[in-house]
Structure 1
Amino acid sequence: MLNILVTGSNGQLGSEIKELARDDGTKIPIPNKFFFTNKNSLDITDLDAIYEFVEQNSIHVIINCAAYTAVDKAEIDESNANAINHLAVRNLALISKEKKIKLIHISTDYVFDGKNYKPYMEDDTTHPQSVYGKTKQNGEKAVREINPKNSIIIRTSWVYSCYGTNFVRTMLRLGKERDSLGVIYDQIGTPTYARDLAKTILEIFPKIDNDIVDIYNYSNEGVLSWYDFAKEIMRMAKLKCKLNPIETKEYPTPALRPHYSLLNKSKIKKDFGIVIPYWKDSLDECLKKMGERK
């Protein structure tokens, strides 16, 4: 049996892992003991605190779901964003290397500048355009430089779930409150249902066997804009709200978003033999779970 530490367990991905870990109806073999922590129960910016927790609980695997994800707020709160997205990640990598712990760290498409013309490969040059993206890039760099054995970085995009604050939940709320809504059509990518990513992490972590930290991309299959995504949410939920496609410049935000953030997932599919669900199928599943599929 393995002892697995999951940080950021109250977030979208952490919550999905937590649910899967206690769901005996899943096909995922989980003869393991999970330790689910949040910022109140374990401060990952404190190296000594992590070390003590790892020692006391004989941790074998760390799944780092903790992140500072307030993209716009990060523009004026760089210190806290850096502490969580970079320095805390460095702490986890240092301890993972020393204690021979397997580390799975979650990163983001925001490490890219969004100016590509084809789906990003894992070895494409990173060039973040926001504080959030830069701090996540620095977290990646720390893991790769420290290089704990049997560890990986997973980049993902447009994450949503039944939990937390995300695009799907926001569209459902606004779709019920408003008659019409403007949604950006010139940012292209693919949503990621956090439950699909959680299942993938639990499926692949026993198979990770590498001497050098590797990077993988993961999102659902398909290509769409935020406008397309919103249209499908409204259709599936049978909401009457009229959606108007708008350009990014019509909805200015403090942080720049990538205009193009498609991720090539061929590497993770090949190396681990996984099948990634199509985005509409996953959205359908999520809305049914939320009781919003009409």
Structure 2
Amino acid sequence: MVKAARQYGIRFIQLSTDYVFDGLSSRPYTVNQTPSAINVYGQSKLLAEDVILDQQSNQFCIIRTSWLYHYSGKDFVTTMLKLMSQEHNNAMLAQGLIPNINVVNDQTGCPTMVDDLAHFLWKLCLQKQWSAIYHWSDAGMCTWYEFAKEIQSQATALGLMRATVTLTPVTSENYNSPVKRPSFSVLDTRLSHSISKPKPWQQQLAQCLYSRSINKD
């Protein structure tokens, strides 16, 4: 695709991920920091980044983003809403289980609502010149557990759920996932602010859940 784009003078954007970083930092990753992926997903994205950067062209760029979600489709928000639903809780109670969801609380990043990423990409396409790499996410940071708690709070306020379910913070080790993920993958988005300013992730979540509430039928 890159060879064809170069041949025909087509601008090219590669969507990448916060998972190109190893998570050892305690400060948001800048576009200039050296990536070091710790899982196959991050490594595959990093290989694609190398293809783009090798072109040394201001008509090609990389957009790293993180924790994407939308009111439809399969993602963390829709999964949490399903697990917190009355139907799911009733099914657990029928099995003699107490409704409970374990959520990882030692991985920190930033959610990104797909709609706003799309708006940023549109504005980026209107720019005459590009930098090699941009970072884009909503503003702020949280753990997956904190994200889940906010989903529960806002969804309850909107009437998207009536069931009471306990959210339990757990470590990545206790969650026992076969995939290794960075413990800290917040992106420094300041370079992108000249194109568009990200909104707080809590505000974006509210917009997403409101859209879901009016489209749930």
Q: Which residue of 2 aligns with 1:226?
A: 144
**1:131 aligned to 40, 51, 55, which one?**
40
Q: Secondary structure at the match of 1:291?
A: helix
User: 2:59 matched to 1:150?
Assistant: yes
1:193 is the counterpart of 2:102: no
Quote the residue 1:113 is aligned against: 22
Quote how far apart the aligned CAs of 1:171 are: 0.1
Distance 1:244 1:136, change over 3 A: same
- Deviation of 1:256 after TM superposition, in Å, equals 0.6
Q: What one-letter code is carried by the residue in structure 2 that aligns with 1:275?
A: K
SS at 2:126's partner residue? helix
Is the CA contact 2:58–2:132 (under 8 Å) kept in the aligned structure 1? no
The letter for the 2-side match of 1:138 is: L
Aligned mates of 1:292, 1:159 — CA distance in 2:
21
How many correspondences in the alignment?
198
Are positions 1:264 and 2:179 aligned together?
no
In the alignment, the residues of structure 2 paired with residue 208 and residue 155 of structure 1 have an alpha-carbon distance, to the nearest angstrom, of 20
Aligned to 2:207: 285
Instruction: State the shift of 1:94 in Å.
Output: 1.2
Identity of aligned residues (%): 33
CA contact (8 A) 1:94 1:148 kept: no
Mapping of residues 193-212 of structure 1, within 5 Å: 193-210=113-130
- Residue identity matched to 2:72: Y
Q: CA RMSD in A?
A: 1.5
Identify if the C-alpha distance between structure 1 residues 148 and 103 changes in structure 2 by more than 3 Å, giving closer, same or farther: same
Correspondent of 1:217 among 103, 110, 135 = 135
Match of residue 103 from structure 2: 183
By relative contact order (CA 8 Å, sep 6+), the higher-ranking structure is 2
1:172 — aligned with what? 81
Letter in 2 for 1:280: Q
Q: CA deviation at 1:261?
A: 0.5
> Displacement of 1:204 after TM fit?
1.8
Give the Å deviation of 1:146.
Answer: 2.5
The structural deviation recorded for 1:292 is 7.6
Structure 2: any 5+ residue segments left out of the alignment? 90-98
User: Which TM-score applies when normalising by structure 2?
Assistant: 0.87
Q: Would you say the 8 A contact 1:160–1:194 is kept in 2?
A: yes
Residue 104 of structure 1 corresponds to 13
**8 Å contact from structure 1 (residues 100, 148) kept in 2:** no
Contact 2:106 2:143 in 1 (8 A): yes
Q: Deviations over 1:64-97 (max 9, x none)?
A: xxxxxxxxxxxxxxxxxxxxxxxxxxxx211111
1:148 to partner: Cα distance: 4.3
